[in-house]
Each structure stands twice: as structure tokens, then as C-alpha cells.
A = this chain, B = another copy of it.
Amino acid sequence: MARKIEIFDSTLRDGAQARGISYSLHDRLQMLALLDSLGVDYIEAGNPASNPKERQFFEEAATLPLRATLVAFGSTRRKDTEAPQDAGLAALLGAGTKAVAIFGKAWDLHATNVLCTTLEENLAMIRDTIRYLKAQGREVIFDAEHFFDGYAANPGYALLVLRAADEAGADTVVLCDTNGGTMPHALEAAVKAALGAVKCKLGIHTHNDSELAVANSLLAVNAGACHVQGTLLGYGERCGNARLTSVIAGLQLKMGYECIGENLARLYDIAREAAEITNLTFDETLPYVGRSAFAHKGGMHIDGLCKAHGSFEHIEPSLVGNQREYLLSEVAGKAAMAEKLKDSFPEAAQDREKVGLLMEKLKALENEGYSFEGAEGSFRLFVMKQLGLRKQKFSLVHFKVSDEPTNENTFGAYAVVKVDVDGEARMAAAEGNGPVNALDKALREALGNFYPQLRSVSLTDYKVRVLDTNAATAAKVRVVIESTDGKDFWRTVGVSTDVIAASLHALIDSIDHSLLGAEPISASAEAK
């Protein structure tokens, strides 16, 4: 059987150090569930000492049925204190996780010039902290910060740090290339020296400042490490951390190790959902999970591929849930469309002419900025409309939104809508936290007279992305809305240069989707 390598994801902790990332509580809980569904072994989710908001997160996370081990992160005790009196350690234990990760200095320069303490006290801080946390029943992962720089500067001391952690009872000692500057050969030699120094499990944690994070992770495992830390999409401070999508695929498909088993085939989808939660643009040239990763443009390559798939591809794309694409050919697009229709519209999927027509309409919408990736609700409505299967449940006769200050510190946004259902008109008005919220409330108010089930529908997510940043405030925006009726979730999309119009399109699709199969009652009957 393949040797197991532990995967430790830090998207929620080290990943949050990246420029432009700022997770809400809801984002973090969503990401936690997503990472857990991928089958990683550890999820490092935050530093309880850094921020009072962390406590709420760990309380909510404790109620989730996770398969992975949840990890809270912190540092060793402060210098010249006792571990049981250390406020940071108290916060760390207060998170209530089964495992904790703590970092300590493995570079003598850091102990003397950053911590401003002695080399001996630095070792004592590490030893005391680990013994204390072990005595409290925690699994302890020790991050030897700057291990590789430390090993280059003072190898004897760097190894002493690892030994101190090992002897104090750490379950895993992790070698960190904190500055990301270590070259592959230097890294391999240092990993081998570390293996000789400790008896516990050895891990690797790399950064991408020299564009070597993935390579260094793979080389460390090849040298004997059995635990890899990184972030799913490589998010992290500066140039980021080791990208786990590439690490996992490399370890499992190329080097014969076991990481997440069959879940590997979900890598493509899960990577996209993670980017959605973070609201960062997905880099489509990413290895394994990018849309371009198996996209072929060169004529000779395409010809070669048609003769023998392995000839211009390093792996079969479906192994990571991706698919082959020929950029100059329409054939691939139609095949993908047929694939997409298969489940909900099996007849149309078989019909070459209908598939071709849908492709054409889809391309026209994509040229306008639409993207149905991650908006399955709108995609379904689009297909139904094109196939003549969509029955109109209501029409929006008119609307108006206004926004102006009401007094010194608040804005007054309100919306008026008029809808028509089977010839019966109804108006409604609502105030909101902003014009889109007002519009949402007014629409539900008006339509709730005909479709009372709409009253149990609510929006769970609202995302705005600017498509053409050159055009500044005149740019197109894409709005994606997620809705739920308590049982199911669906996402819908709208595109316009006007953020209100884009939101309205997505709102209408959302309502339409929740009314699939519904029949209206008379508004006047309901009113009685």
C-alpha cells in the first residue's frame, strides 16, 4: 500500500496573510467545510490570541462534524514567563481544539535579535510550552520557524531546537522555509540532517518567494518528511505558501504516495469553490486545476493528442476532475455542453443541433460577461428558456429605486416595484440597507401575494465582481446571488454596467428558480 503523507491546510490562517484576503465568519465556516470535504488531515483555522473575534469562530467550528483535525495556532510562551501564566497559551487552549500548532525560533539571529533573548532561554521557551500543552492533552505540532535559514547560519543550534521540541514531546516537528528563499539542494541536505536529529514525525512548510514552494515540498517528502503544510490555492503572505492542489496531485499521481484518495477527482471543483469563497480571481493557468491546464492551442500538439493522448499531456485530466480543451476547435465546446446537459436534460444532450444552438447562445452571453460557472441556477433557466421549457411565473412591469441621505449619518434607499402574475398586477414598496436590499424586499413582498412559499426563501450570499476594470465606474459588473429555501441552495447571476440592474437580473433568476413547478394563487384570495 502507498505510504500516507499527512496534508495540513492553512488557508484560513497563513492564507489570511495574503494581500486582499479578509474572511468573514461565514466565509471561514464555509471554507472549513469545503476543506474538510476534500479529505485533508489537518485544518489550521486561526490564531486565537490575535483577535477576540476568533473565539466565536472556534465555538461555531466545534459544533461541525469534521473529519479533519481542527488546529489552533499560536506561539511559544513569552520569554521569562511561566507557560501556565502565558496569556497567548491560555487563548490557544481556550479554542478547545484537539491539536495545536505552535511556532518557535530555529534561527539563532531571531532568538537574539528579534526576540532579544538568549539561545538557552529560546530552547526553554520551546520545551516548556510543548510540555505544558502535552500535559493539557493536546496533539502538538511544532513549527520550527526559519529552520532552513537557521540551519545555513548555525546548523548545530537549528538541530538543537528540533531536538528540544522532540524531547519535550512534540508529535510533529515541521521544518519551515519562512522566507521562501531556500534552494532545492540546500533544502534536501537540511531535511536529511533533521531526520537524523528527531524521532517524531517530520513535516515541511514552504513559501513561494523563489517559486520553489511546491518543488521543495515534494523534495522534502522524497527525503523523508511525512507531513506537508500549505494552503489549498497557494494563498499566503508575499508570494504565498506551497499550493496544496499541486502538492497533493504531485505526491499522489507522480510519486505514488497516498494523501486524499479518490477525492483527488474533486480537486478541480473544490479549488474553484475555495476561490469563490475568498472572492479572488481564479488563475486559470494553475497546474492541474486551471481551465488552461489541459487546453491545447498549438496545431502540432492537437494533432499529436488526437493520435495519442499521453503524447502531449502529463496526466489524464479527469484524474483531478479537469478536462481537455482544444482552443481552436468548436468540437470540444460541444462535447462539454453535452456533458453538462446530460443529467437534467438527457434528451437535449443527445441532440447535436440543440447542443450546437445552446453553445452559440452561450458564447454570445459569455461575450457580454456572463459566466455560468458557479451559477447553476441561472444555467438551468437559460437552457429551459432556449429549449422552450420555461414558463413565465411573473413579469416585472416597472420598478424604481432611489437613494439619498435622510439625515447626517444614514442613507435612505427604497424601491417600488410593480409585478404582474397571470394578468393580476400588484405593487409593493420597501426600504433597505441599500438599493439592492430594498429591491429584494419589495419583490418578495409583491410576489408573496401569489407565491407564499417565497416568504421562506432567503438570500445567503451576494458577490459582486467588476469585469472590465479599465472602464472604472462605467465597467460591467457580475453579481452572483446564492439563495436557499431551507433545504436546497441555488446560485444565479446577472451582468450589467449598472450594479442595480445586474443585481435585479440575478434576483429575478433566483425567484424564478425557486418557483420552478409552482402554481400561483390569486393575490386577492390570499389577501382575504
Within 8 A of B (CB), among A291-348: 292-301, 303-304, 307-308, 310-315, 327, 329-331
Q: How far is the CA of A333 from the CA of B305 in the complex (A)?
A: 51
Q: Which residues of B contact A436 (CB under 8 A)?
A: 473, 499
Name the distance in Å between A407's Cβ and chain B's nearest Cβ. 11
A27 to B411, CA, bound (A): 33
A22 and B467 in contact, given A308-B109, A311-B114 (Cβ under 8 angstroms): yes
Stretch at the interface among A64-72, A119-127, A282-290: A282-290
**By the criterion CB–CB under 8 Å, are A219 and B184 in contact?**
yes
Besides A214-B215, A402-B402, 19 new A-B residue pairs in contact (Cβ under 8 A), listed by A number: A18-B297, A19-B373, A25-B468, A114-B307, A114-B308, A181-B314, A209-B314, A212-B215, A237-B301, A238-B293, A238-B294, A239-B290, A239-B293, A433-B473, A440-B473, A459-B472, A463-B469, A464-B499, A473-B503
Quick check: A374 and B287 within 8 Å, CB to CB?
Answer: no
Query: Considering the chains assembled together, what is the distance between the CA atoms of A467 and B255 in angstroms?
Result: 41
Interface residues of A in 449-484 (CB under 8 A from B): 458-475, 477, 481-482
Binary contact readout A408-419 vs B (1 if CB under 8 angstroms, 0 otherwise) = 000101000000
- A52-95 interface with B by 8 A CB criterion: 75
Interfacial chain B residues near A467, Cβ < 8 Å: 22, 24
A17 lies within 8 A of chain B by Cβ? yes
Q: A19-B374, A404-B398, A498-B413 are in contact. Are A26 and B311 (CB under 8 A)?
A: no
- Assess whether A131 is interfacial by the CB under 8 Å rule: no
CB-CB under 8 A from A473, the residues of chain B are 432-434, 436-437, 439-440, 459, 462, 481, 503
- Jot down 17 A-B pairs with beta carbons below 8 A, ordered by A: A22-B329, A24-B468, A50-B331, A109-B311, A114-B303, A114-B311, A179-B312, A181-B254, A209-B293, A210-B287, A212-B218, A215-B215, A237-B301, A238-B293, A400-B403, A436-B499, A460-B469
Contact with B along A131-154 (1 / 0, CB 8 A): 000000000000000100000000
Q: Kindly provide the distance from the CB of A332 to the nearest chain B CB, expressed in whole angstroms.
A: 11
Residues of chain B within 8 A (CB-CB) of A327 are: 19
Residues of A within 8 A of B (CB): 17-20, 22, 24-27, 50-51, 75, 107, 109-110, 113-114, 146, 178-181, 183-185, 208-212, 214-216, 218-219, 222, 237-240, 243, 246, 249-250, 254-255, 279, 283-288, 290, 292-301, 303-304, 307-308, 310-315, 327, 329-331, 371, 373-374, 398-405, 411, 413, 432-437, 439-440, 458-475, 477, 481-482, 496-501, 503
